[in-house]
Copies of this chain bind each other. A is one copy, B any other.
Amino acid sequence: MKLGQATIKDIAKALNISSSTVSRALKDYPGISKETKEKVKELAKELNYRPNAVALSLRKSKSSTIGVIIPEVVHFFFSTVISGIEEVAYANGYNVILLQTNESLEREKAAVETMITNQIDGLLVSYSKETTSFEHFQKLIDFNYPIVFFDRIPDLQNTINVTVDDFSGAYSAVKHLIDQGYSKIVHLAGPKNLKISKDRQDGYLKALKEANISVREDWIVPCPLGTSEESETFSLQLLKGKDRPDAVFASNDIAAAGAIKAAKSLGLSVPEDFGAVGFSNWQFSSMIDPPLSTVSQPGFKIGEIAAGLLLDMIDNESEEAFQGKTEVLETRVIVRGSSLRKS
């Protein structure tokens, strides 16, 4: 955006309405009152507002390609989402290009620029662990650029999101551990800035509370890296401590696998002495020993729904398609050997 040129945001601020209302008013979309439209247009004229070049090129383009911005392509969950996206996209004559951010905000911003430069018709985004401000996305949303967030959904108004019920997935996983007779349950938590981490932790807390198990703050261990080595180190410390935990609920399968490794290295038997449940149902999870219990997310379904919502915005530029909404899909606990003491 050029300095000194009025933006949609300026107009929105001045009139105390949302940017997308301004944008739609300027385009004479239905669903905006005549009065608002007139006010917006008047102010736009007064402030000498002109849609900028980026915005125009964004709206004019039609490359029949949609872009997916993801933290890591190797993450099994994301790969299943990608498959769902591709299924819907190809069936509708769209190609799919992927950009991975490697959990870096800088790369994420570069990815957004690349998508714009390449005149991609719309974006599906799961943002990085580093992302705490969302201006690079807000800019696009203000121009009614089609964008759908999945899994990791932002704290922004009027976005279109597809995610899973992490809270009840985590709750069910911990309830399952309690049902199996475990009571000293550690939580290996995910990165703090992700809503999914908070939701999983909240589910853990609810299950403990319901069973009248008191919460120990030192047993909620943040694992920012999410590697097997990291959780192995943390788990060893806890398992060597005086008051030994008897189970772990980890916010991802890799961390759960690291905890199992730690327990086995200390001669504990899994699941008898130590139980473990992960999250996401990675490809390897059924192959380790014992096979890992986990919370499965419907990745393919997430991809299908997110792509469907995006294509709806691209092909059918109706007011309704751009209406903010969040689709929440159910998760499912898969019980395997790592947590099955009673059968």
A residues lining the B interface (CB < 8 Å): 63-65, 67, 72-74, 76, 79, 82-83, 86, 90, 95-100, 102, 107, 110-111, 113-114, 117-120, 228, 257, 261, 282-284, 287-289
A65 touches B283 (CB 8 A): no
A287 touches B73 (CB 8 A): no
B102 touches A99 (CB 8 A): no
15 contacts between A and B (CB under 8 A): A64-B117, A65-B117, A73-B73, A73-B79, A74-B74, A74-B76, A74-B79, A90-B110, A95-B99, A97-B99, A98-B99, A118-B119, A118-B120, A282-B284, A289-B289
Residues in chain B near residue A284, CB distance under 8 A:
282-284, 287-288
Residues in chain B near residue A261, CB distance under 8 A:
287
- 18 further A-B pairs in the complex, CB-CB below 8 A; given A96-B99, A97-B99: A65-B114, A72-B79, A73-B73, A73-B74, A74-B74, A74-B283, A82-B100, A86-B100, A86-B102, A95-B113, A97-B97, A98-B98, A283-B284, A284-B284, A284-B288, A288-B288, A288-B289, A289-B289
Main secondary structure of the interface of A (DSSP, over half): mixed
Residues in chain B near residue A96, CB distance under 8 A:
99
Residues in chain B near residue A74, CB distance under 8 A:
73-74, 76, 79, 283
Q: Which 9 A-B pairs have the closest CB atoms?
A: A284-B284, A289-B289, A74-B79, A73-B73, A98-B98, A95-B114, A97-B97, A118-B118, A287-B288
Residues in chain B near residue A228, CB distance under 8 A:
287
Least distance between A122 CB and chain B CB atoms (Å): 14
- Compute how far the CA of A119 lies from the CA of B72 in the bound complex, rounded to whole angstroms: 25
A111 touches B99 (CB 8 A): no
B73 touches A98 (CB 8 A): yes
A73 touches B65 (CB 8 A): no
B118 touches A97 (CB 8 A): yes
Least distance between A30 CB and chain B CB atoms (Å): 33
- Compute how far the CA of A284 lies from the CA of B63 in the bound complex, rounded to whole angstroms: 38
Most B-side CB within 10 Å, residue of A73, A102, A282: A73
- Compute how far the CA of A102 lies from the CA of B84 in the bound complex, rounded to whole angstroms: 12
Residues in chain B near residue A119, CB distance under 8 A:
118
Residues in chain B near residue A65, CB distance under 8 A:
114, 117-118
Residues in chain B near residue A64, CB distance under 8 A:
117
Residues in chain B near residue A76, CB distance under 8 A:
74
- Compute how far the CA of A42 lies from the CA of B257 in the bound complex, rounded to whole angstroms: 68
Residues in chain B near residue A72, CB distance under 8 A:
79
Least distance between A321 CB and chain B CB atoms (Å): 24
